[in-house]
Amino acid sequence: QKTKEHDVVQRQRVVDLWKDGKSEGAIGHELRMPKSTVHSIIVKYRLSNTVENLPRDAWIKQLWNVTKNKTRT
């Protein structure tokens, strides 16, 4: 269960650092958040190409479509 939702500015900072070539661990250390959170933000960004909050239904549908397409190849 989620205990905290990171704001768009913080998620954008994660993505910017990742695009600059920093590792997930280094980003987590710099921004004081767990590596797993950094990883989740990056995965969601790569799937949706946005750091905005998506409605739960939209996020699950995107994840399902990506997973379904990967198993077909």
Residue 18's CATH number: 1.10.10
Average pLDDT, the chain: 81
Q: Is residue 65 part of a domain?
A: yes
Residue 31 confidence (pLDDT):
95
- Residue 52 structural domain: 8-72
- pLDDT tens, position by position, 4-37: 778 889 999 999 999 999 999 999 999 999 999 9
In a domain, 22, yes or no: yes
Distance of CA 13 to CAs 16, 54, 60, 62, Å? 5, 18, 24, 23
- Under DSSP, the state recorded for 54 is P
| Cβ count near 64 (within 10 Å) | 10
Residue 12 inside a domain? The answer is: yes
- Taking a C-beta distance cutoff of 8 angstroms, is the pair 22, 31 a contact? no
Distance CA 73, CA 59 (A): 22
pTM summary value: 0.70
Q: Name the domain count of the chain.
A: 1
DSSP string, 15-26: HHHHHTT--HHH
